[in-house]
Structure 1
Amino acid sequence: MDIRLNKRLNKQGVVIAILHTIIILNLTIDFFFIH
């Protein structure tokens, strides 16, 4: 596997993980404010 491609995939994985964390936090905050 190409090392550069692997680094790019790892970077995308980190960005996706951060986005998922932000979405989960937003849903949790919305849930607490609604209830």
Structure 2
Amino acid sequence: MYYPGRAHMAPKLRVFIDYFCHKAILPSQQSHHR
């Protein structure tokens, strides 16, 4: 679920990627937050 160019991205982009990954991996948790 981790992208190869992830480390090359900026910190904010990395956080966004992590958030997106978590959203895709744990949709129920994100659904609960929303």
TM-score by length of 2: 0.49
Q: Which protein has the larger Cα radius of gyration, Structure 1 or Structure 2?
A: 1
Q: RCO (CA 8 Å, sep 6+): is it higher in 1 or 2?
A: 2
TM-score by length of 1: 0.48
